Structure 1
Amino acid sequence: MKKIARLLRISLPLIFIFAFVPQANSQLLKKLGKRAEKAAERAVERRVEKETTEKTEEVLDSILEPGSKGEKEKKSPVPNGEPSTDSESGSHSPTIEGSSDPNTSSEPSGPKSITVYSKFDFVPGDKLLFFDDFANDFVGDFPSKWNTNGSGEVVTLNDSKDKWFEILPGYTTFYIPYVDLPEEYTLEFDILSSGIDAKTSSSAWLEVGISSDDKFRWGDYYVHANLPFAQYTPVGIRVKNHIKYGGGGINNVVKADIREAVLAQPHISIAVNKQRFRLWVNEKKYVDIPKAVPAEGAISTIKFQLHGFKDGKERLFIRNVKVAEGGLDLRRTLISDGKVSTNGILFDSGSANIQAQSMGIIRQIHQVLQQENNMKLKIVGHTDSDGEDASNMTLSKNRAEAVKNALVSVYGVSSDRLSTEGKGESEPVGDNGTTDGKAQNRRVEFIKQ
């Protein structure tokens, strides 16, 4: 507020000065005086809005990142943080194992607003079909769970031990074999880009979709979306489908400006509910087409292709690829069965910080509590077996408490309707010796009391 007062002290004298200049210029100066006054008003409004936003972000930060106590930013190595930025070109270039790139990691992007989180309506499937963070693959190898007609490799970035799959450009197809896709399922993955700048082509995009061909073509039936990486103009997201002999398929560009998002390690979420196809970039839904998935063809394969990237300069990596059956509505299950379990509430590795894409599920739990006024819930956290038993028990309790805090602070649920418990690694539902099994074991339960 001191800065606002300073702005007023500077601007108001200008107005009085204009009032006492010679008559010949009075009309001109009167206009200038009004402009100065309006400029001061706008400056005051911007300052007040900025201070209000900062306070709101601090509240949300304390919910989604327990223990942060309103800290603005924390340094984090890539890929947990944002890719590093080349000061000359403005391109984002994480250091890759075996690469001569000298760039280092930078600070993660700041927190987003409560409004954005509370409206995020993506709900991941609750029955895991496939998960790959490439932890069991060797650096330099092609991922063992995937197939391709070209090449790609698993890499690590900067000093992080996390592994990423580098997708190479061209007409190479990368796909996940041996996954039976049901009528309703979700696909999620994280993206990290490198070398993207103002010269990146408008035809640089990641093509991701589903098809009836179980090898390298898109086949007779498919639907896919192109995620653009051009920076000099908002290209939009192209959505296309094909129905053999059907004609008149979808081939359209959805207005979308995701230029900043693709530079900041975005999370991509796709939901397929029979013929309906929806796509989110981070917490914003850009595509929602009710008749996009061809009903006639047996959709069998999830495919990725990378186009328009300059080989060796612009690079793309993905990780945490997850396919899960369901993703439509947990509310009915909770009301009818009195219990629901989900591994769709995600946390930062080894912490109780809730990731933004989890808020769709928490929102549904809130809607149940709104409808069922007398319902009380126990929130139970579970972990996989990595780490010490005691640490996992504490972590599971903290994660359950973080979910409770989100329901109370974001949605206004009374705290006396919620209790928490941590089970640690004591009640596994999957094999802790596999990546898929660990992902199943990292879950949160809601139990009617």
Structure 2
Amino acid sequence: MKNVVKIMALLLMLCSVNMEAQIFKKLKKSVERAAEEAVIRKTEQKVNDETEKAMDSILNPNIGSKDKKKRNKSSKQKGNQDDETSEDNYNLNEENGQNNFGVYSKFTFIPGNKLLFYDDFAKDAIGDFPANWETGGSGEVVTISNSQNKWLSLVRRSGYLPTMENTLPENYTIEFDLTNNGYGEPKSFSKLNFLFMTRKAYVGGRGGTLAEVEILLSHNGFNVRKVSNFGGELDTRVGSTINRNIPDYLNNTVHISLAVNKKRLRMWVNEEKLVDSPNLIQANIGRYFIIEARDVLPEKGHFVGITNFKIAESTEDLRSLLLKNGKFSTTGIYFDTAAATVKKESYGILLDIANMLRDNDGINLQIVGHTDNQGEADYNQTLSERRAEAVKQILVDEFGINEGRLQFMGKGETDAIDDNTTVKGRANNRRVEFIKI
């Protein structure tokens, strides 16, 4: 019996040892597997990090250089920071939205550089239809209580066509201020159509093959509703519903910016791009532009008006002009009336100038302000200097360009490039010039 007990105890001990060995083997495998998984995770993370860096370098080639410069800057003493450092700081701040231009820091519209048409209705009599426009309906020049400008009042069912000697080119921009009021009552609404046509007409139905952007004004808000084209010359029919409703723009004033680049149409309302249609302008669409009002009814309290209307051809970009001619000028930097305050819708062109300077370290610029001949010569001289200085200071303070690369001066009304007796000529003369030094 004792022998049996001993044998059983021995068997139990062997089983225990075997179980412990199996457990140890399992534990060992588990540890090995965990270690292996940790290595795999670490490797995967490294691969992911490297992939992200590679993609960033493809999609945004400046990121790597910025990080490198940022590391280099941290190793320098503050007193030894060079000119490039301040411009790099701006790049980093810009990405974080630190900019006094606010929401306009995302505004990418750049106006054309060759002015084709301009009208602010300053020389038109109140109550008359403006001299530089055509319509098959009616309308008149008016003033409104909260604005120093004159406005063309759009009424009922009328189309409004700017009078131009030639058809519109392949690449151009259109800008204007648009105001509306009287849209508080339910079931009270009007439509505006921005029409790009192949034939001269005062209504869309007679404009041939065309493209349009439709805006609805109602008690619900300011609604950019749809983008479409139609007609017999189309290769591809486009019909897009947008329905971007912005209540804050109702009974208010907004800035409209349109850009036609061959087949592509883009539209901004204030700083926000609401339309970007790459194949909308086909065949001969876009040779004429009209604004068509539909059911804008004064007897119901409706008011819709436009002012500061500008069409400009987009030719060579400013970098090409500067390298080829040593200078370029723009009418796309806007100021408050009789003041040196730069308007926020100037952001796109100022950013383009700043980027050109960052990309070309050897280029320094003299900024020259010009005015038309309205007002006293001494006043215009001072105003041109103040405006040139304001542009310089914005490039320094807001865009991080080193101040030593910029000079400024004003020439007032002394260097006119166009006829000061016409509205378009005066608009051409009110410009900012950039000269390579």
Normalising by structure 1, we get a TM-score of 0.70
Counterpart amino acid of residue 117 in structure 2 = F
1:166 paired to 2:153 = yes
Deviation string 1:34-60 (CA, Å, 9 cap, x unpaired) is xxxxxxxxxxxxxxxxxxxxxxxxxxx
In structure 2, the gaps of 5 or more residues are: 1-98
The equivalent position to 2:348 in structure 1, one of 354, 357, 360, is 360
1:320 equivalent in structure 2 = 308
Q: Which aligned pairs between 1:47-86 and structure 2 lie closer than 5 A?
A: none
Counterpart amino acid of residue 435 in structure 2 = I
Deviation string 1:262-285 (CA, Å, 9 cap, x unpaired) is 433111111111111110111111
1:123 paired to 2:110 = yes
8 Å CA contact retained: 1:118, 1:410: no
The equivalent position to 2:130 in structure 1, one of 137, 143, 146, is 143
CA distance in 2, matches of 1:159, 1:311: 18
Q: Which aligned pairs between 1:150-229 and structure 2 lie closer than 5 A?
A: 150-158=137-145, 162-170=149-157, 172-180=158-166, 181-197=168-184, 199=186, 201=188, 204-218=190-204, 219-229=207-217
Q: Which aligned pairs between 1:48-447 and structure 2 lie closer than 5 A?
A: 114-158=101-145, 162-170=149-157, 172-180=158-166, 181-197=168-184, 199=186, 201=188, 204-218=190-204, 219-232=207-220, 235-246=223-234, 249-294=237-282, 296-297=283-284, 299-312=286-299, 313-326=301-314, 329-447=317-435
Change (3 A) 1:383 1:245: closer
Deviation string 1:396-445 (CA, Å, 9 cap, x unpaired) is 11111111111111111111111111111110001111111100000001
Change (3 A) 1:158 1:246: closer
CA distance in 1, matches of 2:222, 2:337: 33
8 Å CA contact retained: 1:125, 1:328: no
CA distance in 1, matches of 2:203, 2:293: 14
CA distance in 2, matches of 1:354, 1:183: 30
Deviation string 1:242-298 (CA, Å, 9 cap, x unpaired) is 24153752222224233213433111111111111110111111111111111x226
CA distance in 1, matches of 2:208, 2:147: 41
CA distance in 2, matches of 1:424, 1:401: 13
CA distance in 2, matches of 1:388, 1:251: 52
CA distance in 1, matches of 2:100, 2:416: 35
* Post-superposition offset of 1:238: 1.3
Deviation string 1:333-364 (CA, Å, 9 cap, x unpaired) is 22343211111111111000111111111000
Deviation string 1:21-42 (CA, Å, 9 cap, x unpaired) is xxxxxxxxxxxxxxxxxxxxxx
Change (3 A) 1:233 1:118: closer
* Post-superposition offset of 1:156: 1.6
CA distance in 1, matches of 2:325, 2:161: 37
SS at match of 1:229: strand
8 Å CA contact retained: 1:123, 1:327: no
8 Å CA contact retained: 1:179, 1:300: no
Aligned length, in residue pairs: 335
Q: Name the structure with the higher helix share.
A: 2
SS at match of 1:365: helix
Change (3 A) 1:235 1:117: closer
8 Å CA contact retained: 1:369, 1:375: yes
Report runs of 4+ in structure 1 exceeding 6 Å deviation.
none
SS at match of 2:339: coil
1:87 equivalent in structure 2 = none
Normalising by structure 2, we get a TM-score of 0.72
CA distance in 2, matches of 1:328, 1:280: 22
Change (3 A) 1:293 1:149: same
Residue identity over aligned pairs, in percent, reads 39
1:57 equivalent in structure 2 = none
8 Å CA contact retained: 1:186, 1:327: no
In structure 1, the gaps of 5 or more residues are: 1-111
* Post-superposition offset of 1:199: 2.5
CA distance in 1, matches of 2:277, 2:290: 19
* Post-superposition offset of 1:328: 7.0
Change (3 A) 1:121 1:173: same
CA distance in 2, matches of 1:220, 1:250: 16
